[in-house]
Every structure is written in structure tokens, then in C-alpha cells.
A and B are shown apart, each in its own frame.
Chain A
Amino acid sequence: MLIYTLKRLLQAIPTLLIVITISFFLMRVAPGGPFDGERQLPPEIEANLMAAYHLDEPLPMQYLRYMGNLLQGDFGPSFKYKDFTVTELIAQGFPVSLEIGGLAILLALIVGLPLGIAAALKRNSTVDYVVMGTALTGIAVPNFVLAPIFALVFGVLLGWLPAGGWNGGALPNLVLPVVALSIQQIAYIARMMRASMIEVLGSHFIRTARAKGLSESEVIWRHAIRPALLPVMSYLGPAIAGIVTGSVVIEQIFGIPGIGRYFVQGALNRDYTLVMGTVVFYGILIVVMNLIVDLLYSALDPQIRYDD
């Protein structure tokens, strides 16, 4: 188990290297430097600045230096938020994003799984049609449409909940962003759970369980749910990536100070170091989440061997 985890971590290294390398060189070919724009700097000051940020060194040196700093958790200075390093900005934003994202994935599972199971058990009934119809709508309406409509209806028109802002993470401020972020994943998870549940219910070992004289609820709880969860578990990786991506717009729409917002602001302001830092950070995050999902999966399925 431990060896498997280490192995997976080792395998993640090339992925991260690629992310870092691509972002590093993309940044360097980007037109314009970090210090042009606002006002023309005298050449000697610009040269000093370039030297201070080591931008006068040859590219390979800069690359190695950046890698070295990264290893120490240093993403470099932000070009636009002059008083902050990228690391500081990420450290500020991440807890906020994590809270929103974590709650959203939790909500997606708590709502999506039972809906899928219910639809599968009542296959071809009204319940099934309603759940699956709603799920399809959930997939068809993107979160960046849903979020503003939520904000408009529940925030502005009805005035039940704040239409935006963070307010230190107060519960009312959380509801709309979390719901908007999770709806699409709820829909996907419900659909997958239904499909895999139907498949499991038709399998031979469920017939065996019934032939043993188990009641329908024992058959479902003891024998059907766990195997049906397996394919949904393997979808969790992409689901988390989807939530992370979605959080970028959601934070933008609701004005939440998470890393998603820094990312978008950075992209629009051409704050290269900030964008690159967030991309690398997201890369690490997704790789780590995938690893966790895989470990969870192997805990559910005894047939996974750790030596592969």
C-alpha cells in the first residue's frame, strides 16, 4: 500500500514537470515584459529590476532557478500585486476555494448518489423519468448560466440569500455558489450511479443473493451498492477537476476571493507569474486528488493489486 502510494507519487513527477515546463516557456515567449505598460521606466532602473528578478540570466538558468524555488514552495513574485508573492496570494485564496469546492463535491455525492439509486430501483417509473430528465437539464445548463440566474432570483428578486460576496465564509454566502457549482456534478453522478446500479442489479451475484433468501433491502445494501459505486468512484477524479475548473467562474460571478479569481484576474491582467503559479498549483492539486481517488478506489475493490 505504502509502496503503491510512493510509486504513484513518483509517476506524478513527469506530469508535473511537463506542466511546469510548458507554462515556464509559454510565459517566456509571451510578448511584452512584466515591467512595460504603466509608464516608461528609465533603462538603468529596468535593468536593475530585471537583475533583481534574475530576468537577465540565460533561459536555462532561469528555468533551473524557478524549479529550485518551486521545490521550496516559492512561486515567485506577482507582477501586478506588487506587495505580494504568488505563494502568499495562493495561500490566501486556497482555503476559500477548498471550502467551496469540498462542499460542492460533498453535496454532489450526497444528492447525486441517492438520486441515481432511486432512479435505478424504480426504473422506468415516474421517479426515474423525473430524476433523469432533471439530470439531463442539469448537464445542459452550464454553471456560468446557472450561477447568475441563481444570484438574480434568490439574491436580487427574492432577497433570500446574498447575491455575492464572501463575508468571511458565512453560511448564507456559501449556499448559492456551492449549489451552482455542484449541480452539474450532481447530474453526472446521478446518471452514472443509475447506470451502474442497473447493471449490478442484473448481475449473477445479485441473483445468488436473492436465492439465499435475503430481503430486497439486504440485497441492495449488502450486495449491490458497493460494486455499483466503483465506476462512480473512478469518475470522481474528473469530477474534482470539473469542480476546480468550475470554481473559477463561480468565484468570479459571486466575487469570492479564492484562487480561481486570482487566476482569472491574473489572466486578464497578464500577470504572468500569478497565472503560471496558479496553473502549477492546480496541476499539483489535480494530481494529488487523482491519487487520493485511486487509493479510495483500491480500498473498495479487493481485486486491485498494488504491485502494478
Chain B
Amino acid sequence: MTQSLLEIDKLSVTFQLPTGPVTAVKDVSFTIAEGETLALVGESGSGKSVTSTAAMRLLPELAETTGAIRFNGENLLEVTPKRMRRVRGNDISMIFQEPMTSLNPLHRIGRQIGEVLEKHKQLKGRENRERVLALLEQVGIPEPERRIDSYPYELSGGQRQRVMIAMALACEPKLLIADEPTTALDVTVQAQILDLLKSLQAQYGMAILFITHDLSIVRHFADSVCVMRYGEVVETGRTLEVFDDPKHDYTRMLLDAIPRGRKEPAPADAPVLLSGRDVKVRFSLKKRLFGKDDYFEAVRGIDLSVRRGETLGIVGESGSGKSTLGRALLRLLQSTGDIRFEQSDLQALDKSGMRPLRSRLQVVFQDPFGSLSPRMTVGEVISEGLKVHHPEMNRRQRDAEVVKALEEVALDPAMRNRYPHEFSGGQRQRIAIARALILKPELLLLDEPTSALDRSVQVRVIDLLRDLQKKHGLTYLFISHDLSVVRALSDHVLVMKEGQVIEQGPSEALFTQPREPYTQALLKAAFLEEETVAA
């Protein structure tokens, strides 16, 4: 075995909070050899980012660190701050999850990259600039001569992450710590960044400590893996061994937490429930006091139809217009074109005409923190729709309905007098589902209902949605960027890009034989794990 480059030995981190000490990392040990890639895997709150930040000694002062972090045999927890600064950016460098905010907004990117070279390699002036240009070229920034003088706001998220990588690689470090470097990016961009990291690693021979919650990336990217939960390591080992034969229950559960199964098709003669023809939505970008406003067409003429009991998956990257389309179909946004729900022409209805239909068309949003009013109890949130649609019910009857709805989403009804901020993300999403279900809807718009949740929670919410659909014969409009989830739930899939439908078809056919290059790229980027799981 090669010599170990970084050795984390019984590392513990405790935060001294005003409310008392909180231990975020406990007795964590692992090693990384030169040129190796180790993935640190865990869900939110597992302490994986705290561990990697501790390795750079970048934790806030109220963190107490014990144990040892040995880099080339030198314990970084004991070296002077001055020595530590020689290590940062030079021997070990780091890229972060937030490409949009990790660059200084007031400095040109050339200067930000050049700063590292000036600090550690004493490169100045012309030499400095040339090296920066070479780096930009290497990380695939187009027109580096021009881009070197750009400010961060002039670059896209993917480009900013490339700049961060250029900055991290400037001094050819021996170890790169990548903290969820692709989480905030669209899948296709994500794949490009991962490819870039891989090729640069081959070129520079550096080791990578890769922090992620996404197991599908790990399998393809890492030599070994270290699984963390609640600040402790539950399992470490070679990636293939851990994936093939997980020793710990938690690892097994994580590996299982991939939405599986396929939806049973709806009967072929089921009637069409909702249909849209040439649906268009446009937003005015800049309002002028006089004259014409500038418009942006978010949805550019889309046809679709869903039959009763079906799930229509709508897939696309951020900015593709998928959420806008969903809201337009439910008349939550103004649109043009034809929208029909059974026999009724929704576009012809005004607010009060729409109201009776509202109980049959319900919605669950992405953000489990933003979709519940923080000043109402859960019971009030769930029963609000009853007040609108069943004014004849008294308080007791409404309460009974709330209890039933909560039981249906597997939450303890005793919690109905609590406020949303007292619940976890998964629980809030269940509350949002209960709020929709209590009205006994026929169609449910699910707008990225699981994207903000940890994988293991995600799978349980998906199971719940699936059970509910079966039990009540619900029709779903399922909007998501997560193709594995869409595949597990949908009969039909619509792929959107820039407000238009790129491709559509029955789910199985579309996932196995995509026709359009864009769809193929999406699938390739997202289904890293599927090929191997199938194998």
C-alpha cells in the first residue's frame, strides 16, 4: 500500500454553544493515501463537513478539536498558525458547495486565482497572469483571455465552480478537499465538473477527499469510502467492497435508499383528467412606466394530457420552466392556451368559479420549510381547506378529519397543536401532503416534493406517495429534476428545456431508449448508478 498522506486519528469536534456543548464529530479516524480518492459520505448532520473543515483548521473559534490530523506525518492540530497558512492553499486546498457565494464578488477572478500564486509561489505580474490563464484554460473556461478580467457575477454557477477549482489547483496541492462540489449544480453540469476533477487528478496526481451525500457519485469516483452518521464513522473500506457487501445496517439502508420499482400502469381506457393545449406563460422582466414591457417566455406552448390514475413526470434542469408549467396548469399563474379539467375549461373560470374545483386539484411544494405558515399550528394548516370547502363542518368534525389525515401520512395526530418549526423536513412534507389530502383531491401537483430531503427520508416519502396513489386512485403531475425518482413513479414522462418539450413518451421507453441528445445527456449524468446496479 502507498504511504498515507492524510491520517485523521480519533478526531472529535465539540461546539461550545450558549445552550451547552454539542459534539458534532466523535472519534473519527480514516486515512488517505497519495493520489487516492476517499469519499466521506453521510446525510445532513452527519458531521462530514465539520470533519473536512477541521482538517483545514477553518472551524469557528467556539469549536474544540481533539485527536490528531496528520498530514505527511505532521500533526496539523499542533502546528503554528503561520505554518498552517503555508499548508492551506499550497499543500491542501479546498472547494466548496456554494459556487455562487464562495468567490469575492468585488474582485476580478484573475486576481482571486493569482492571489494564491502570489502568496505561496511568489509569482507576480506577467508570470502570475500567464499561469492564471493556463489554469483557466485547463479547467475549461472559454476565452480565458477575456474571462480573466470578469467579475464572479458575470459567470454561471458551473463556471464559478471551475474558477474555484483553478484556484484550488494553482499551487498543485497534494490533497484537494471537495465539499459537495456539485450539489448546487444541474445534473449535466455536475457530470462535467466531476469529469474535470477526474482528469485533473490524473494529471496532477493529487489525493481527493470528497464529501458528498450522493452515493451514485461515490461509486464512480472514489477508491475508498467512509460512511458517517451522527458524527461517527459507521463503516470504511474500499468502495467496491462496501457497495457489494455493506457491513453496517446504516450503510445498507443508504444503499437501499434508491427509489426502486416501477409504477403499475393505469388502465388503458381511463378517461383523460387534465389536458393542456399550447400552454404559454410569460413574465415581464422589466416593467416600464410607459411603453411595452420586456417579456420572458418561461413556457412556450406545451401540449399534454394526463389520464385518471396516471402519473405524468415532468423533468428538466433549473430554469426549464417545469414548475411554471405546473403552476399554470392549476391556474396559480396566468397563462394562455387551453387547459381542461374533465369537461371544464379552466381558462374560462374566474376566481370564484375556480374555487369549487380547487378541492379536486391540490398541490405539494418543494420547500418543506417555506410551504407551511410558521404562525399556524399544524392542525390549523391542515384544516384550512376544510373551512373553505366544507363550511358546514364544526370544529369537532374538522378536528376528526385532521386526525384522520395525519394518520394517513403516518404522523402522530397528537402533534397537531404544534407549530411547523418544531418538525423535521420529512415531517413537514408529510404535513403538506396531509393538507392536500384532507380535501380528497383527484389530481395532485407534486413540485419537487422530495428534492430538499435526505435520501433515506426521500425514499419513505416516495413510498408514502405511491401508497396513497394506489389507495385513493390519485392522478399525479410529478415535477422533478431527479430522474431516478421520476422513473420509479411515472407512467409518462415529459422532458423540458428552455420552456419547451424536448421529448416525451412512456416512462420505460424514454428511459431505456432516449432519442434526443439532451435526454441522453441527462440520463447519462444522472444514472451513473443505474448501470452498475443493474449489472
Contacts and interface: CB of A to CB of B under 8 A. Distances in A.
Contacts of B103: 205, 208
A205 B104 contact: yes
Interface string A276-308: 000000000000000000000000111100000
Interface string B83-114: 00111111001101010011111110000000
B407 to A, nearest CB: 43
B101 A204 contact: yes
Interface residues of B, number: 27
B89 A205 contact: no
7 contacts: A204-B98, A208-B164, A212-B115, A212-B116, A212-B167, A223-B107, A226-B106
Nearest to B151: A302
B153 interface: yes
Nearest to A208: B102
B105 A210 contact: no
A208 B102 CA distance: 6
Interface string A203-221: 1110111111111001000
B68 to A, nearest CB: 21
B120 interface: yes
Contacts of B410: none
Contacts of A209: 104
Given A207-B58, A207-B96, A208-B96, A214 B119 contact: yes
A210 B94 CA distance: 10
A204 B94 CA distance: 12
Most chain B C-beta atoms within 10 Å of own C-beta, residue among A208, A210, A223: A208
A210 B119 contact: no
Interface string A104-126: 00000000000000000000000
Most chain A C-beta atoms within 10 Å of own C-beta, residue among B96, B106, B107: B106
A213 B87 contact: yes
B89 A213 contact: yes
Interface of B: 56, 58, 85-90, 93-94, 96, 98, 101-107, 115-116, 119-120, 151, 153, 164, 167
Interface in A211-245: 211-215, 218, 222-223, 226-227
B135 to A, nearest CB: 14
Contact of A303 (B89, B105, B115, B164): B105
A193 to B, nearest CB: 16
Contacts of B106: 226-227, 300-302
Nearest to B82: A215
A215 B98 CA distance: 23
A214 B107 CA distance: 15
A289 B430 CA distance: 55
Contacts of B102: 204-205, 207-208
Contact of A214 (B87, B93, B98, B115): B115
Given A211-B93, A303-B153, A205 B105 contact: yes
Interface residues on A, range: 20 to 34
Contact of B85 (A207, A215, A223): A215
Contacts of B107: 223
Given A212-B115, A213-B87, A302-B105, 16 more contacts: A204-B96, A204-B98, A208-B103, A209-B104, A211-B88, A211-B94, A212-B88, A212-B119, A213-B89, A213-B120, A218-B119, A227-B105, A302-B106, A302-B151, A302-B153, A303-B105
Nearest to B164: A208
B101 A210 contact: no
Interface in A20-43: none
B178 to A, nearest CB: 12
A82 B204 CA distance: 86
Interface string A191-202: 000000000000
Contacts of A301: 105-106
Given A212-B115, A301-B106, A203 B85 contact: no
A205 B106 CA distance: 10
Nearest to A224: B104
Contacts of A204: 96, 98, 101-102
A281 B396 CA distance: 68
Nearest to B103: A205
Interface string A96-107: 000000000000
Most chain A C-beta atoms within 10 Å of own C-beta, residue among B93, B94, B96, B105: B105
A300 to B, nearest CB: 7
B455 to A, nearest CB: 25
A303 B85 contact: no
B372 to A, nearest CB: 27
A218 B104 CA distance: 14
Given A204-B96, A207-B96, A212-B89, A227 B104 contact: yes
A6 B227 CA distance: 61
Contacts of A300: 106
Contacts of A303: 105, 151, 153
B209 to A, nearest CB: 13
A300 B90 CA distance: 30
Contacts of B104: 205, 208-209, 223, 227
Contacts of B94: 211
A203 B107 CA distance: 15
Given A211-B56, A212-B116, A203 B88 contact: no
Nearest to A200: B104
B89 A211 contact: yes
A212 B104 CA distance: 13
Contacts of B105: 205, 227, 301-303
Contacts of A205: 101-105
Contacts of B167: 208, 212
B287 to A, nearest CB: 12
Contacts of B90: 213
A220 B126 CA distance: 26
Contacts of B164: 208
Nearest to B85: A213
A213 B101 contact: no
A227 B107 CA distance: 10
Contacts of A227: 104-106
A206 B118 CA distance: 18
A214 to B, nearest CB: 6
Most chain B C-beta atoms within 10 Å of own C-beta, residue among A205, A215, A223, A227: A205
A238 B89 CA distance: 42
A242 B90 CA distance: 49
A212 B96 CA distance: 12
Q: Which 6 A-B pairs have the closest CB atoms?
A: A213-B89, A213-B88, A212-B89, A204-B101, A205-B104, A213-B85
